[in-house]
């Protein structure tokens, strides 16, 4: 009996198999599913502020994790390849974090608020409540959530570290994924 299954599906520019994308970021995942998975593995989604600090990799005031000029040898953006690429294909930033610009846009735990940073706290602000209150009752969240990081489909200006967008938490599509974080304790 053959126990190997190969799932075929259409994404981007053609038909691929699951095996071909096994090391690509997960896409077509809602904010709810991303939060649920993160909790299942004992982690959570990053706050928007945590995401940006990690993306900058220690650089201050730069447009991209490596500097001010967009570079297709450092990120998958603007439909250059036509779909996601293997995680880690491009070089990491100075914090050794991969794919924070391009490949997939990423859900953050925060509620979307276009004006949030005008009056927010300066140290790790969270929009929409505390991390604990958001994660405890995440299935009750109905407001748009933050996405960061520009995707393989995003134009150059959307791939900037500072770019912010918001989507309703039930949205899924081929350009949005997530990453998990686990706070360090000292």
Q: How far is CA 6 from the centre of its chain?
A: 27
pLDDT digit string (tens) for the chain, length 186 residues:
444 545 444 445 455 566 677 899 999 999 999 999 999 999 999 999 999 999 999 999 999 999 999 999 999 999 999 999 999 999 999 999 999 999 999 999 999 999 998 888 888 899 999 999 999 999 999 999 999 999 999 999 999 999 999 999 999 999 999 999 998 876
**Residue whose pair of structure tokens reads 């900037």 in the numeric block:** 160
As a CATH number, domain 28-177 is 3.90.1580.10
165 within 8 A of 18, measured Cβ to Cβ:
no
H helix and E strand count, the chain: 4, 6
């Amino acid at each position: 009996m053959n126990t190997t299954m190969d799932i075929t599906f259409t994404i981007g520019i053609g038909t691929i198999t699951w095996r071909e994308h096994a090391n690509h970021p997960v896409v077509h995942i809602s904010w709810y599913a991303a939060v649920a998975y993160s909790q299942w593995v004992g982690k959570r989604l990053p706050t928007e502020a945590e995401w940006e600090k990690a993306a900058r990799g220690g650089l201050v005031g730069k447009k991209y994790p490596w500097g001010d000029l967009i570079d297709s040898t450092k990120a998958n953006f603007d439909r250059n390849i036509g779909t996601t690429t293997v995680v880690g294909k491009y070089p990491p930033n100075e914090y050794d974090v991969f794919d924070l610009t391009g490949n997939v846009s990423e859900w953050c735990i925060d509620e979307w608020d276009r004006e949030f940073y005008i009056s927010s706290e300066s140290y790790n602000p969270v929009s929409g409540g505390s991390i604990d209150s958001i994660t405890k009752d995440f299935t009750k969240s109905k407001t748009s959530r933050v996405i960061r990081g520009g995707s393989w489909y995003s134009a150059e200006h959307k791939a900037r570290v500072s770019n912010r967008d918001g989507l309703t938490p039930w949205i899924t599509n081929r350009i949005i994924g997530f990453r998990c974080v686990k706070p360090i304790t000292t």
